[in-house]
């Protein structure tokens, strides 16, 4: 049994589990949500505020930090934790998804991902070994192997070739590993094909990874496909290591994934939606741009005790958004991340309490749209 992860309790009504993940910068209670700090910052949020809302761990991105300001500079500055003023755990994505999103600006071969920088058009080759070296220079607590994120509509023949390549890249990543205090997660691909997902898990589970992530979901498939493939794959993964569902972040999708046995989640949805004026409340999503809130004295969510809801009215939040004030993004992002962290609190409480009733109450508080 690995010493860095313990399943503390299993839910009696679902496959959800309560876990404890130990990293070089502290323990993480799972299931947990990781805010996305792509470039070494969670947009519009101070590290101090992240701590106050209960954030245990956040995510930063290899691709972006490699291009700017550079992993060597960050290492010289004492590592990513010191650079960004965050002393709790950090997980770094390998950059595979960002390369995937470049579409015509990249080429995938067995060697790695050849791509052009979105900043200046310069050419780069991101290999499994380089992705490991960059993340070791950053000094993150959890490093992800390089994989190819496969689009939902990809043909089976391509998915099979790509998934086999991802396994070979994972093997190369392990051979390149040099830091004993940095956990490394393998990534399961296989598209929407159960047999390819199963084969990938079988190959990956033989490798000495500290945890496993499921990628290639949340990339255009239907909600039914997401839940079906996610649940199927979670059931195949080793039970003694953390399970991370990458990039899936609608509240109802996170909740379904927790019930399927996943432990870790990340997504830009709460902060991106916040900047666009879409806010999550105990009675569903709310678009603060709507004229009906212009003179609304009520807090954003009367059931929420975050700093935003305790101190400001809907009218003020709408005014900030319509005026283009920076504080709009700050307060909206703070509230949405608070909402997500309270959702994870409720999930952990439901696992501790057991029984289907608690889960029904959580579902009732979410917007089904």
87 is catalytic: no
> Contact at 8 Å (CB) between 206 and 200?
no
Catalytic residue among 11, 49, 93, 147: 93
93 is catalytic: yes
Catalytic residue among 11, 49, 147, 266: 266
Longest dimension (CA), the chain: 61
Q: Which residues carry out catalysis?
A: 93, 266
């Amino acid at each position: 049994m690995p010493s860095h992860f313990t399943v503390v309790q299993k839910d009696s009504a679902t496959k959800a589990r309560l876990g404890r993940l130990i990293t070089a910068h502290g323990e993480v209670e799972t299931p947990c949500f990781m805010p996305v700090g792509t470039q070494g910052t969670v947009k519009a949020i101070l590290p101090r505020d992240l701590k106050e809302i209960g954030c245990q761990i956040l995510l930063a991105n290899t691709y972006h930090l490699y291009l700017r300001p550079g992993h060597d500079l960050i290492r010289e500055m004492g590592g990513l934790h010191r650079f960004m003023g965050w002393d709790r755990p950090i997980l770094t994505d390998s950059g595979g998804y960002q390369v995937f999103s470049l579409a015509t600006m990249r080429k995938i071969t067995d060697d790695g991902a050849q791509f052009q920088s979105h900043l200046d058009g310069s050419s780069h080759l991101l290999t499994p070994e380089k992705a490991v070296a960059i993340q070791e220079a950053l000094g993150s607590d959890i490093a992800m192997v390089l994989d190819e994120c496969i689009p939902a509509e990809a043909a089976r023949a391509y998915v099979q070739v790509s998934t086999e390549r991802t396994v070979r890249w994972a093997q190369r990543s392990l051979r390149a590993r040099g830091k004993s205090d940095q956990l490394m997660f393998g990534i399961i691909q296989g598209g929407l094909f159960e047999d390819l997902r199963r084969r990938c898990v079988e190959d990956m589970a033989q490798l000495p990874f500290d945890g496993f992530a499921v990628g290639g979901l949340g990339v255009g498939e239907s909600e039914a496909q997401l839940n079906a493939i996610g649940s199927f794959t979670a059931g195949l993964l080793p039970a003694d290591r953390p399970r991370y569902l990458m990039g899936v972040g609608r509240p109802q999708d996170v909740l379904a994934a927790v019930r399927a046995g996943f432990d870790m989640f990340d997504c830009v949805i709460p902060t991106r939606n916040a900047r666009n004026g879409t806010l999550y409340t105990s009675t569903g999503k709310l678009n603060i741009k709507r004229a009906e809130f212009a003179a609304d004295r009520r807090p954003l969510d009367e059931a929420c005790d975050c700093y935003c809801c305790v101190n400001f009215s809907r009218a003020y939040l709408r005014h900030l958004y319509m005026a283009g004030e920076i504080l709009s993004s700050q307060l909206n992002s703070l509230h949405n991340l608070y909402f997500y962290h309270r959702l994870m609190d409720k999930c952990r409480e439901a696992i501790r309490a057991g029984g289907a009733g608690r889960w029904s109450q959580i579902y009732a508080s979410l917007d089904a749209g």
